[in-house]
Amino acid sequence: MLNIVIFGAPGSGKGTQSERIVEKYGINHISTGDVLRAEIKKGTELGKVAQSYIDQGQLLPDHLIVDILAATLDSFAESKGVIFDGFPRTIAQAEALKKMLAERGQAVSIMLNLDVPEEELMKRLIKRGQESGRADDNEETIKKRLVVYHNQTAPLIDWYKQEGLYAHIHGFGALETITAEICQAIDKVK
């Protein structure tokens, strides 16, 4: 089982690169952001809660996200592996993922950190906001998401280094070049 954590700041290319990895390795994809946006669209209770946090660029409480993760993991019973996109985002979530996988006789195989300069992140997200209108892709909310990333999520870099699972990826440049570097890192642990 290949369990890949794809990590990076807002706009670093987690979703874009996940699609390419899913195609190449035939594994499942969980994007917690996509799950929450689908709930918002359906107008569920969870969607209403999610919207209040997403609009503010804040993280949802860990327990809500961990429950979503557990339910999604169990729906992939016959899977070759999973790419976790946008999760974990806090140390508590990383610890929960480790436990959840251990209970299923599994572990994280690698953590890929898509490293992208901040001014490029801002450019990409503003552009997407203008083109597709994702509600949190406006300058004010992007700035809040970046602060949350630095305070709550970036500490996971050292956490995964200590676990011996960390891989740095240059996330700036042509999509194909980034995918190639990612595949090289995955093939080493496969």
Q: Which CB atom, from 14 or from 29, has the smaller least distance to Mg ion?
A: 14
Report the candidate in 62, 38, 69 with the shortest Cα–Cα distance to residue 51: 38
The answer to whether 169 and 113 are in contact (CB under 8 A) is yes
Separation of alpha carbons 159 and 96, rounded Å: 13
128 is catalytic: yes
Window 69-108: contact mask with ligand AP5 (x via CB under 6 A):
-----------------xx-x---x---------------
> Is there a catalytic annotation at residue 134?
yes
Alpha carbons 50 and 33: distance in angstroms, whole number: 9
For residues 3 and 106, is the Cβ–Cβ distance under 8 A? yes
Write the interaction track for ligand AP5 spanning residues 23-42; mark x where CB under 6 A is met and - where it is not: ---------xx--x------
Question: CA distances (Å), 185 to each of 23, 33, 155, in order?
Answer: 16, 25, 21
Is position 104 annotated as part of the catalytic site? no
Catalytic residue among 80, 128, 143, 144: 128
- Could you give the 3-state DSSP secondary structure of residue 11? coil
Is 98 one of the annotated active-site residues of the chain? Answer: no
Q: How far apart are CA 61 and CA 47, in angstroms?
A: 13
The binding track of 14-43 with respect to Mg ion, each residue x by CB under 5 A or -, is xx----------------------------
Would you say 108 or 145 has its CB closer to Mg ion?
145
Work out whether 129 is an interface residue with Mg ion (CB under 5 A): no
81 binds, among ligand AP5, Mg ion, none (CB under 5 to 8 A by kind): none
Rounded Cα–Cα distance for residues 182 and 177 (Å): 9
3-state DSSP call for residue 8?
strand
Contact stretch for ligand AP5 (CB under 6 A) within 14-22, 71-79, 160-168, 182-190: 14-22
Q: Are residues 35 and 84 in contact, defined by beta-carbon separation less than 8 angstroms?
A: no
- For the bound state, the minimum distance from the C-beta of residue 159 to ligand AP5, rounded and expressed in Å, comes to 14
Listed ranges 52-60, 74-82, 97-105, 182-190: which one lies at the site for ligand AP5 (CB under 6 A)? 52-60
Q: CA quadruple 52, 171, 1, 155: dihedral positive or negative?
A: negative
Q: Is 47 in the site for Mg ion (CB under 5 A)?
A: no
Residue 15 interacts with ligand AP5 (CB under 6 A)?
yes
